Structure 1
Amino acid sequence: MTSPQISKGAATAALLSLAIGSFAIGMGEFVVMGLLPNVAQDLLPQTWATAPGDAIAQAGWLISLYALGVVIGAPTIAGFVARYPRHRVMLVLSIVLAVGNLLTVLAPTFGWVAVARLVTGLPHGAYFGIGALVAADVMGPGKRAKGVAFILTGLTVANVVGVPLGTFLGQQIGWRAAYGVVAVLWVVTAIMIALFVPAHPGDPGRTMRAELRVFRIPQVWFTLALGAIGFGGFFALYSYVAPMVTDVAHAPEWVVPIVLVLMGVGMTIGNIIGGYLADINLRRTLLGGLLSIALVLVILALVSHWIVPLAALVFVMGLVSSSVNPTAQTRLMDVAEDNQSIAAALNHSAFNIGNSLGAFLGGVVIAWGWGFVAPAWVGVGLALIGFGIAWLSFRVEDRSRRRAGLAIAGPAD
């Protein structure tokens, strides 16, 4: 059911325009994970010559720095632009992302590439957050999670098509070529938004100070923490999937894009299933997703020396982890009261803290000499901690409702 203000066709065109942008974000954020050895060899040649593992771990900082940009930019940009028309904000963010990815292509050294990735990460959360509000409004009550999942579909499809193709392209003609494609995609997105996203007013009465009141809500902190830590388990694996395929399973380099396709397919399916299940029972979907991440990582770590079961479990990992994303996004919007703009963006801060945390801790255990399977075990711990935070969040919420004298007929959505 679409919003009564626009036709179904116009709503589809608007959401598709935004989804192309989320595709570009997904490709730009995740393609580096399949190209870490190539980036390390190009930007850190001296370290690569003596210690390839150390060079790959250092190249992993690019993942963490991009994620740090998201963490910084999501609440600040979303809070600042809440008063402005959302269609215009989305257009400006698209242009900034085009420029940031172009800078990544042109940056001559590791240090400058690191700066470019940090800057490019800044608009990420605001783009998704504002896009999620538009999608939720278009889909209407009772289907908000499906609307959020629609926008996130571009992100997951990027892992099916964009990331594997970008990885293959980067392996063949240089990793910078992949980011050249991302820059072009952002130009296309800006044009599509200008043409097809209808006027969507902001909230002129909102201020940065008012938006920041969201941090006074305890359940917001619970939700951010479960996303940041729990989803870090996924990124601990994803960040180092390329060396796991080549150095642990001893598969040739051309297998890496195939494994990434399988993960992307799993993420696409999981995103759709997660949006559907979250509208039925958000609580069980969230808890089940986090627990499943830990379980799949345990099995994956045990069979990672064989490429076929490794590839199959990477697919399952993409499926179960991606179901958490629209679920956590919807949960955060539910508990944020009237602070919707910043809340929708904060979810991406949380997930990118998870990105940074997983990549960093995975790099640490690799640098300690524990091997490329060690990040999977790090991920198990992070996912279980996230599950514990989610369980505690719901217990606290139930207790608060009982104290307020509200009857709880069943698991709360």
Structure 2
Amino acid sequence: MTTRSKLPPTVYLLGLTIFSLVTAEFMVAGMMPALASAFSVSLAQVGNLIALYALGMALGGPPVTMLLLSRGISNQRALVGLLAVYVLAGALAAAAPTYTVLALARIVMGVSSAACIGLCMTLCAGLVSLQDRGRAISVVLAGLMLSPVAGVPATAWVEHHYGWRASAWLVVALASLCTVLVATRLPRAEAGDEPSLGSQWISLKNRSLWGAYVTSGLIIGATFAAFSYCTPILIEEVGVAPAQVAPLLALYGVANVLGNMVVGRIADRHTYAALGWGLALLVLALGGFALAGQVFWLNLACFLTVGLTGVALNPAMVARVMKAAEPGALVNTLHTSVITAGLALGSWAGGAVIDAGLGLRAPLWLGAGMALLGLLSLLRPWYHASPAAAAR
């Protein structure tokens, strides 16, 4: 009987690091009224703080990574440096005297966060054997899954009792701890040990890699086209009481974590099957959610099934990218940027179809369509990767 090798503690450290980064990204959602009151701005302007963070991630991560690679800085040193920048920007945000300062600080946090997540993926791949990559990636990405379940509610609780600045400083403290641990616990690498910028740039000239990027963007876009508007859908279309929304969102987060664990176990050996069947299930769940009407159990089942798939397919998405190209920092950071762009596109498009007068459930149909496109983008590589095709 074969036994699974034990993952090194540093894999869990990288997961904690991503947890701190993603919590800072979404914590604004749990303290919107407090921020609007503190800076005398509208809720829409507070919502822009999340969008600005995401914009920094989508546009700033790859150029920063390319700059670090061109300097020959090792991945471990680059991660420590970028986390230090992140901590400084987080401290500026926590102490921000005006909305403009807070917004600028959030942009810097987003830029450094995208590069940090890409580096965490790259360093994780180098810490474990090839056959353990999917499992290790799922542990690191569990930090992303746990953030909305534990991190955002915790910061909202702190804000309620001690104010929004206390929440911001708490995240800064956690990021500072991660910075120190990454600097002292991760294996040190000499400059030049990692693939050069030139070799990583060449790896981007790969149709399979860009195919993986497209599928990933469509998966996340489909998920957030629906999830961004799930609260009004649940309240106004399904008839859920406002007080019941938070527990349902918590259940959705638990489904994310469980799905991530399951997909992480099979991502290495069955990458395309995990993505293909996951996307098929996502199409059915979103379509079923759109057609469920007032049937509470069907709405709930479809909503939680979206949680079990969607974002939870991340380990398989990362595994596919790592199979398409050497998992260098630039490849992984660009993947993070594509995912962030998919999130922004899905959320925007979901709002656009509502504004067009197509109804609150229209984002669910939009998400189902994007998921179907993702499935179609996967069919050809899935077929060529099958044992039957390989035997011909």
Greater displacement, 213-222 / 124-133: 124-133
2:125 maps to 1:136: yes
Q: 1:306 and 1:394, CA in 2 relative to 1: closer, same or farther beyond 3 A?
A: closer
Aligned pair count? 388
- CA shift, 1:350, in A, is 1.7
Match of 2:170 in 1: 181
Contact residue 8 and residue 127 of structure 2 kept, 8 A: no
CA distance in 1, matches of 2:40, 2:290: 29
Stretches of structure 2 that go unaligned for 5 or more consecutive residues are none
- 1:27-42 matched pairs, under 5 angstroms: 27-33=23-29
Contact residue 282 and residue 331 of structure 1 kept, 8 A: yes
Match of 1:332 in 2: 321
Greater displacement, 208-217 / 340-349: 208-217
- CA shift, 1:345, in A, is 2.0
Q: 1:367 and 1:32, CA in 2 relative to 1: closer, same or farther beyond 3 A?
A: farther
- CA shift, 1:356, in A, is 1.0
CA distance in 1, matches of 2:319, 2:289: 29
CA distance in 2, matches of 1:44, 1:232: 32
Match of 1:408 in 2: 390
Q: 1:360 and 1:22, CA in 2 relative to 1: closer, same or farther beyond 3 A?
A: same
Contact residue 165 and residue 257 of structure 1 kept, 8 A: no
CA distance in 2, matches of 1:209, 1:107: 39
- CA shift, 1:332, in A, is 0.8
Q: 1:382 and 1:117, CA in 2 relative to 1: closer, same or farther beyond 3 A?
A: farther
Contact residue 294 and residue 381 of structure 1 kept, 8 A: yes
Contact residue 14 and residue 124 of structure 2 kept, 8 A: no
Q: Deviations over 1:329-365 (max 9, x none)?
A: 11111111x4622112222112111111112112323
Q: 1:383 and 1:254, CA in 2 relative to 1: closer, same or farther beyond 3 A?
A: same
Match of 1:341 in 2: 329
2:216 maps to 1:227: yes
2:11 maps to 1:15: yes
Which one-letter code corresponds to 2:23 in the other structure?
Answer: M
Contact residue 257 and residue 312 of structure 2 kept, 8 A: no
2:305 maps to 1:316: yes
Contact residue 260 and residue 315 of structure 2 kept, 8 A: yes
Q: 1:89 and 1:343, CA in 2 relative to 1: closer, same or farther beyond 3 A?
A: same
Contact residue 286 and residue 327 of structure 1 kept, 8 A: yes
Q: Given the alignment, which residue of 339, 354, 371 partners 1:383?
A: 371
Which one-letter code corresponds to 1:125 in the other structure?
Answer: A
- CA shift, 1:175, in A, is 5.5
Match of 1:282 in 2: 271
2:73 maps to 1:77: no
Normalised TM-score (structure 1): 0.80
SS in structure 1 opposite 2:104?
Answer: helix
Q: Among the aligned pairs, what percent are the same residue?
A: 27
CA distance in 1, matches of 2:61, 2:116: 8
CA distance in 2, matches of 1:217, 1:122: 25
Q: 1:204 and 1:16, CA in 2 relative to 1: closer, same or farther beyond 3 A?
A: closer
CA distance in 2, matches of 1:91, 1:217: 30
SS in structure 2 opposite 1:216?
Answer: coil
SS in structure 2 opposite 1:145?
Answer: helix
CA distance in 1, matches of 2:184, 2:4: 19
Normalised TM-score (structure 2): 0.84
Q: Given the alignment, which residue of 198, 213, 227 partners 2:187?
A: 198
Q: Given the alignment, which residue of 196, 200, 225 partners 1:211?
A: 200
Q: 1:107 and 1:291, CA in 2 relative to 1: closer, same or farther beyond 3 A?
A: farther
- CA shift, 1:232, in A, is 0.6
- CA shift, 1:233, in A, is 0.9
Q: 1:109 and 1:99, CA in 2 relative to 1: closer, same or farther beyond 3 A?
A: same
Q: 1:224 and 1:202, CA in 2 relative to 1: closer, same or farther beyond 3 A?
A: farther
2:55 maps to 1:68: yes
Stretches of structure 1 that go unaligned for 5 or more consecutive residues are 49-54
Q: Deviations over 1:367-390 (max 9, x none)?
A: 445454332222122211222222
SS in structure 1 opposite 2:390?
Answer: coil
2:144 maps to 1:162: no
Which one-letter code corresponds to 1:390 in the other structure?
Answer: L
Contact residue 27 and residue 158 of structure 1 kept, 8 A: yes
Q: Deviations over 1:68-126 (max 9, x none)?
A: 22222332233333432322222222222223333444445655544333321112232
CA distance in 2, matches of 1:374, 1:108: 40
SS in structure 1 opposite 2:118?
Answer: helix
2:142 maps to 1:153: yes
